[in-house]
Amino acid sequence: GAEPNQPNARGATPLLVASYLGYDSIIENLAEFDGDILAEDAYGNTACNYALDQGNLAVMNILKAKAKNINITDQMYDKALI
């Protein structure tokens, strides 16, 4: 099967991309199949950073429900706080 945490050339996993694009059901499925909610891209951005950048509160609520600690700081010292 497919690897849910396989990063692309920029280090973004499928869950990070789905968070950026706001694909709620894909995020749910990836999390169910061990997609790493706390994975970071090459710049230290997490799914939370991507969701916040897009103003997607629905995605943030999904991530919050699935992760224990989503208060992560990226390389620009921006924090995803919930």
Model pLDDT for residues 19-65, shown as the tens digit of each residue: 999 999 999 999 999 999 989 999 888 898 899 899 999 998 899 88
Higher pLDDT, 33 or 70: 33
Residue 82 pLDDT class (50, 70, 90 cuts): very low
CA distance 65 to 80: 15
pLDDT of res. 67: 79
Mean pLDDT of 69-82: 55
Residue 62's H or E segment, with its range, is helix 57-66
76, pLDDT greater than 90: no
